[in-house]
Every structure is written in C-alpha cells, then in structure tokens.
Amino acid sequence: MELKKELIKFIKENHLSPFNLYKTPVKSEEESIYKTRDGKSVHNRVLSNISNYFCFSDSSNLFNCFEFTKDINKIKERQEFFRTVPKDLDNNFLKNLKKPKQTWKPKYSVVAVTDDEDTFSKLKNLDVPVKFLLNEQDVLDLENYEIVQAVDVEQFSSLIEQLPQSVFLDSIDDVYLERYLEILSSWKDNLEILKNINDNEILQIVLELKPILGLTQPQLNQKISRNEIEQKLGEINEEISLKLKNMNVSGDILFEMLSKNKLPIEIEKIIDDSVKKTNVPEHLFDLAIPVKIDENEFENFIRLQDANENTDFAEKIKKNASLLKKIPEKLERLCELMIIYDFSSGISRFMLNQENGSWPIFSQEFTMENSKNVFLESPQAISFSLSLDEKCSILTGANSGGKTTLIEHIIQIISLFNLGLPTSGNVKIPIFSEVYYFAKNKGSANKGAFETLLTQMSKIEPGTGTIILADEIEAVTEPGVAGKIISATSSYFIEKNCFLVIATHLGYEIKDILPQKARIDGIEAKGLNENNELIVDHNPVLGRLANSTPELIVEKLANSEKQDYFKYLNRYLKENTTRQ
C-alpha cells in the first residue's frame, strides 16, 4: 500500500525507533489549517488523545505523514488505509520489549590476516584485530590466536593451511561475521515476545531470525576434560593392578624388566587392553606402571580439541554468511514495522472507543448527529448543524453548559476528518482550509485586548473553506456595543461565505439584529434539581435562545433562601423576560 511505503520512508529519514525513550524531534514544514494558537492547541490535544493508545514514543511522529489537505481524494485514501486496520490489534504486549543489549560473544579470539596491502587497509576499518603478513615468522606468531581468518592470502597460504585454527574467507565482507550474531543476540528476548504478533511480515522476519539465533546457544560437542582423563586413569590402573595380582611372573620376565628397563609383552598387552576399554586416545598416556598422563601430549590434545571446536563453529558461521549479513537490514525493517504496528494498533483501539463510529462524509454543509466528545470521560451524544441557509450559529446558554465544549468538539471532528479517521455518530462535513478559533478571553476587558481581537479578525482570509469559531468575544469590550459588533462581524463573514459559531451571553442583545443566514441556538439549562443544582442538556436546541445563568441563580436563591427579595427578583424576571 502506497501510504505504508510513505510511513516506512518517513521512519527511515527521521531515524525513528521503537526503543527511543523520548519522542524524536521532527521538523514539519506543513501549513496548518488552524490559523490561531487556540485552534492549534485543540488539534494537538486531539493528537495527544490518540497518542495515549501508543506504546512507543516515536509512533505519534507518524501523524506528520497525514498533513493537512484540501484534497478529498487524499482524505478518502487515508480513510481506506484506516479501514484496513484490523479491529482486534493489541499493542499492550509491546510494553514488555526492552532496548536491545548484547548477550553473546564468541568464546574465541579472532585475527584477520592478509598479505595484500589494499585488503589490509580495508580490514583496519573493522572492529577486529588485523595482521599484515610479511614473512614466515608472522605466520608462526598466529599460533596464539584461536581463530585465524585469512582473506586475500597468496604468498603464505600453504603455511596458514597448516594451522588447525585457520579459516579461509572469500571476501572482506565475510570477516568477523560473528559481529552480526552479537547484534542478533541482543534481540533474543524481544524475538520471543514478538513471535505471537498479529502481523504477517513481522512474524516472517522473526521466524527467519530465530534459527540463526540458535547459533548463539551452547554447543553440545563431546569434549574430553582433565577430570574425565583422571577418572579414566584411575580405572585403568585399578584394572591393571587386579590383572597383575592374578598373573604369575617368572624369573626370566622379572630379570628382563630389571635389566632392559622394559615391560614384557604380556604386561604391555594388559596395559594396552585396559586403556582401549576407556576409548581415550592412547597417546595421552605414558604407558608404564602405573600409567600416567603424558602432560605434553595432553596439552597439545586440548589445544587441538579447542581449535577444532572453534574452527567447526567458525565454519558454521561461514556457511550462514549470506543470512548473517542480512541481520542489520532485517532488524532495521523489524523496527520500522514495529512502529507502524504500534501506530495501527493504537488507532485500532482509538476507533473501538468511538461509540457508533462512522466515517465522515464530504458535504457542502456541516452536520453532526449523536457525536461524542473524545476529551470527556462520560460524554453526552451531541447533534448540531450548519447549512448553506444557516451558516452562522449564535450559541447561547448558561455558564458550564457546554458552549466551549461544543466548539472544541467541532474542531475535533475537523481534525479527525482531515486525518482520515472515523468519528462517533454520523458526520457530514466540508473540507475546511482555514479554521479560526478565538478562545474565551481570560483577562479583563480593555482597549488593547479589543483592538487585538479586531486586528486578528481583519487578517482572516474568508472563503467557502473558512470556519470561524469564537467564544465569548464580548469579554474584551463594553457589553453595550458588544452585541452589535458580534452581529456585524457575523454579517460580514456570512457574506464572505464563511461558516461561524459564536458562543455568547448576549443572545437577547443580538436576537433583534440577527443577520440573514444566522440563527440563535441555545444549550438549555432546564432548571434546578432537588439539590438546587443546574440541570443542563448539553445538546444545543437549534433556533432557540437559552436560559441565562443569572436567572437560574436567582431561582436557586429564591428556592433555597426563602427571602422576599430573592422571590421578588425571581418573579420579576419570569414575568418580564421575553423568549424568542
């Protein structure tokens, strides 16, 4: 799949790794559709929310491959990519993976030798001792090395062949292939963890590497140790002693032993038979009475035995050269696929948590039906819409009723749609190329803040792909004129074909000067419960002005305090407040 290739390329170029403790800094040159800091902040919260489902720090970097786009075909391609993600992917086990740490080294020392100057200069770049052969003495000095790897040797090849620990290689690339086994050994535990993964390509690599990893396991070769030799020696001398006790030694035999310092044939045969029963090479013993270990022969035997074992293993390494050389490439591929698997698994888990999730449909109008806010733990399903005939919503309602939450919910949907991800509920949405979000001002009203806001709005580049989201912008100026400014602002941008949602407490001030193609919506505070707490339906009622918080506070005080003043205020407001 083309998108998967893009992800692999991105991972390679930015050196991402599943074992990075912290997220790798990645430069992004894409132009955001979010034109204000507030909008970018909400978008980043969406990405952070999804990233909570990832195990690796670098997995969230893959969002950089899903840059903002105005191309509906690009979005559909992303949707198709995420549709193919299996719904049962689990990445929790990835938390058990550990940063690779080498656990194996060959138990023999290695030296690479050559009598070619060009080859020698190249060998020096390898992490292994290298010797250049100038004369026969240089060859004799190699006896102290347990494995001699010869490459491009012509003049001294016959001498090196006589060394039992020598291994001839075809090219420089074959020198010290053990280094690849050292690398692979650091993956021993991780490969065991990955063997049950639900990803065919990862599993294939694991199955290819596991047999090679077997080379690092202890070899079960039969070797003779000194303890075994001494045990056999005891058995030999005990048997010889028993046989000699039952043997009648004549005077001639005894004379021959003493005069010629030589064992008679009969006794030599007893010794020879006793040694053969042990299956230990005879040359390791001094065949006398008592039989002893020939130390020189035994030392040479052990050295040759180790040399044979080491060269046998070195030959196995040589036979697996083509596989060993591929280890770095396969492990690199494995790391890339692991990041993609973690990314896909996290997306899969995110999508599972999207109750009644569906893929947003491209439309000229914006509609969300029974959609839930991903930022909330127990969200209420919300329905809301903007159409070509009603491009602006003046959103009213009580404090803490959910006006800000609805605006951020809209931004979530815009972000998820652009990424190619599903949303909860049913969504129809245009492609917004510019999103301007002006969050609630947390400071006091002053000339500077008001001027800054107007300046920011003057820089908006309006069009059919523009949506403006503003939250209580009246807070930066005097209430008397704020309603008129909101109405005029809405009218200006509606005429420029923009969509708008403006949350405000000035519904009453605006309703009589409402622009064409605008409506007043209300997030209703239905009243108070038995504990005098606000009862709020967070679902906006389209086309209706919502109760204000002050009215409900007065009602709360009238019900709880039972004082005439509060009762009078409550009755007055109810009788003199005109509803739309």
Residue pair 120/130 in contact by the 8 Å Cβ criterion? yes
Q: Are strands 147-150 and 110-114 parallel, antiparallel or unpaired?
A: parallel
Please tell me the predicted confidence (pLDDT) of residue 553: 75
Q: Give me the residue spans of the domains in the chain.
A: 2-84+354-521, 110-217+309-335, 226-291
Please tell me the predicted confidence (pLDDT) of residue 580: 42
CA distances from 316 to 145, 149, 305, 404, 554 (A): 19, 14, 17, 69, 89
**Which two three-digit tokens encode residue 348?**
């899969």
What CATH number does the domain located at 2-84+354-521 have?
3.40.50.300
Burial environment of residue 59 by CB neighbours within 10 A (0 to 12, 13 to 18, 19 or more)? buried
Lowest-confidence region among 104-118, 164-178, 309-323, 400-414: 309-323
Q: Where are the alpha helices (DSSP H) in 353-478?
A: 403-419, 447-458
Minimal CA–CA distance to 110: which of 144, 134, 137, 139?
A: 144
Question: pLDDT tens digits for 307-354?
Answer: 566 667 767 888 888 899 999 999 999 999 999 999 999 999 999 888
Region 7-28: what's the mean pLDDT? Answer: 94
Whether residue 187 has pLDDT greater than 50: yes
3-state secondary structure of 533: coil
> Residues of the chain with pLDDT > 70: what percent?
88
Region 527-553: what's the mean pLDDT? Answer: 75
pTM listed for this prediction: 0.79
Mean pLDDT of the chain: 86
d(CA 493, CA 310): 82
Which of the pair, 162 or 108, is modelled with greater confidence? 162
If phi > 0 it is left, if psi is from -120 to 50 it is alpha, else beta; for residue 149 that is beta
| pLDDT band at 430; cut points 50, 70, 90 | very high
Lowest-confidence region among 24-28, 183-187, 200-204, 263-267: 263-267
Question: pLDDT tens digits for 341-399?
Answer: 999 999 999 998 887 789 999 999 999 999 999 999 889 999 999 999 999 999 998 77
Please tell me the predicted confidence (pLDDT) of residue 217: 74
CA distances from 168 to 26, 120, 314, 316, 580 (A): 46, 15, 10, 13, 95
Measured N-to-C along each axis, helices 37-51 and 327-352 cross at an angle, to the nearest 10 degrees, of: 110
Question: pLDDT tens digits for 458-493?
Answer: 999 898 899 999 998 887 777 678 889 999 999 999
Whether residue 4 has pLDDT greater than 70: yes
| pLDDT band at 542; cut points 50, 70, 90 | very high
Whether residue 98 has pLDDT greater than 70: yes
